[in-house]
Structure formats: structure tokens, C-alpha cells
């Protein structure tokens, strides 16, 4: 099958676009408004876009509290969405009024950040403390509210020491959630993780070979 995105005439029950861009990490974003009222919401249009400097991006539907708060205060935290917190993450997506804090709604414990005002999710294995770099309004589609892409600089990183082993972050033990299409999710764990070695290029720069087996611990 083939369809053009301007007409969306795909003949399927739902738009398949998000089901084809998978898995997507979940950015569990905490913000505050100018009066100190806390907001927490998960976003699956989320990812890292650079490690030097460390930068994250996430896209939010226009009008959401997250957009308004970040535009006003220039700060947020992004907590790690783990399998142990799946219900809390899901509940925080509820479209409640601005007066309701999702931390309170989901009985989610908070922890103070070091560098920014918005709190992180206390029981999350890791969190990024972020400061706004730039917002980009994406093109509007007729009849839809549109999205704003938010790019933030990661000023600080929190990691629960429980998940640091032999100098590495034990991602399998953290069991991160991944967003799929429709209402589907997946969990990353040691049963579905594997590592690969980078290709080794010879001195001439014209040939490359693959070393079999798990990662040898060397960045190439």
C-alpha cells in the first residue's frame, strides 16, 4: 500500500505513522508555572539529539501546560519512565485541568532538583535537569492544534546509584518503557537486549569487518 500524508487516505482503522516509528523513548516532563504550580506529563515524540552539548527534544501539542510553563520559566526535568512506574506514567497523561498537579493525581513522590525549580519523579531511576534552548513551531495542519518542538540543554543528570554497575549504567535493570503505535508499549530488559561491535575499518579505509560476539567495551 501507499498513501500521501496530505490526504491521509490510507484505508486503515487509524493513522499508521506512529506505529511505524518505533520504539520511541518516553520523556516524562515536569514543569512549573510562574506561580510554582507543578505539572507532569509523558511525551513520546522525545529523544536525545546531541551529546556534546547534551541536548534533548520533545514535541508537545500547542496549548498544553508543558508548553506554556516552559515558555514562561525556561526550565524542566525529564524523568526516566520505567516499567515499575508504568501506571503512574499513564495516569499523568490524563487531560485534567491546569489546577490539578499530576504528581498529586497519581500519588507520585517528588524529589527536589539541584539546578532547576521543577521537581523530578523521586522513584525514577534517572532524570535530566534541563534549561530551554529553543522552541520551534511546526507547520499547522488544517483542523488540528499543531505542535511545538522544544529543545533543551541538559544541565544536570541524576542517576540512582543502584543502577550503576562496573562503571556502566545497567539499563536492563532500569527496564525502560518504549512507546509503540496505537496504545501499545514495550519494556526493555536483559531478555531482549544485545550488543554489537562497531565495524573495524582497515588502514586503507576501503574495507570493513565485523567482530562477532557482544561488545568488547571499546568505542571505535
Tell me the CA distances in angstroms from 38 to 31, 101, 105, 121, 218, one per residue in order.
6, 6, 11, 12, 42
CA quadruple 15, 96, 58, 77: dihedral sign: negative
- pLDDT at residue number 217: 86
CA distance 69 to 58: 14
Match 541524576 to its residue by C-alpha cell. Answer: 158
pTM (2 decimals)?
0.93
Cβ distance 181 to 18 under 8 Å?
Answer: yes
- pLDDT at residue number 145: 79
CA distance 1 to 128: 41
How open is the CA angle 170-25-179, to the nearest 5 degrees?
120
Q: Residue ranges of the domains in the chain?
A: 17-195
- pLDDT at residue number 7: 84
Return the number of other C-beta atoms located less than 10 Å from residue 10's C-beta.
Answer: 15
pLDDT-above-90 percentage for the chain? 89
pLDDT digits (tens, 9 = 90+) for 6-53: 888 999 999 999 999 999 999 999 999 999 999 999 999 999 999 999
- pLDDT at residue number 142: 78
Please give the mean pLDDT across all residues of the chain: 95
**pLDDT tier at 213 (50, 70, 90 boundaries)?**
confident
DSSP state for residue 197 in the 8-state scheme = P
Tell me the CA distances in angstroms from 95 to 46, 79, 117, one per residue in order.
19, 19, 23
- Dihedral pair phi/psi, residue 188, rounded to 5°: -90, 125
**pLDDT tier at 153 (50, 70, 90 boundaries)?**
very high
Mean pLDDT across 132-153:
92
- pLDDT at residue number 171: 97
* H-type alpha helices, the chain: 17-20, 65-73, 86-91, 102-105, 171-174
Whether omega before 191 lies within 30 degrees of 0, making that bond cis, reads: no
The CATH classification number of 17-195 equals 2.30.110.10
Mean pLDDT across 116-123:
98
DSSP state for residue 176 in the 8-state scheme = B
Mean pLDDT across 133-148:
89
pLDDT digits (tens, 9 = 90+) for 156-183: 999 999 999 999 999 999 999 999 999 9
Amino acid at each position: 500500500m501507499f498513501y500521501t500524508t496530505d490526504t491521509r487516505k490510507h484505508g486503515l482503522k487509524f493513522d499508521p505513522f506512529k506505529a511505524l516509528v518505533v520504539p520511541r523513548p518516553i520523556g516524562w516532563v515536569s514543569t512549573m508555572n510562574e506561580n510554582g504550580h507543578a505539572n507532569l506529563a509523558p511525551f513520546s515524540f522525545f529523544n536525545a539529539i546531541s551529546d556534546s552539548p547534551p541536548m534533548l527534544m520533545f514535541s508537545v501539542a500547542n496549548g498544553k501546560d508543558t508548553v506554556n510553563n516552559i515558555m514562561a520559566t525556561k526550565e524542566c526535568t525529564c524523568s526516566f519512565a520505567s516499567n515499575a512506574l508504568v501506571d503512574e506514567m499513564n495516569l499523568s497523561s490524563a487531560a485534567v485541568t491546569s489546577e490539578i498537579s499530576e504528581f498529586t493525581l497519581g500519588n507520585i513522590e517528588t524529589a527536589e532538583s539541584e539546578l532547576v525549580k521543577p521537581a523530578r519523579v523521586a522513584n525514577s531511576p534517572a532524570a535530566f535537569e534541563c534549561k530551554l534552548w529553543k522552541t520551534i513551531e511546526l507547520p499547522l495542519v488544517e483542523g488540528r492544534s499543531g505542535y511545538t518542538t522544544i529543545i533543551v540543554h541538559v544541565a544536570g543528570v541524576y542517576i540512582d546509584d543502584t543502577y550503576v554497575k562496573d562503571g556502566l549504567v545497567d539499563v536492563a535493570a532500569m527496564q525502560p518503557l518504549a512507546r509503540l503505535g496505537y496504545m501499545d508499549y514495550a519494556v526493555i530488559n536483559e531478555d531482549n537486549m544485545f550488543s554489537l561491535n562497531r565495524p573495524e575499518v582497515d588502514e586503507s579505509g576501503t574495507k570493513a569487518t565485523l567482530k562477532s560476539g557482544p561488545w568488547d567495551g571499546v568505542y571505535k
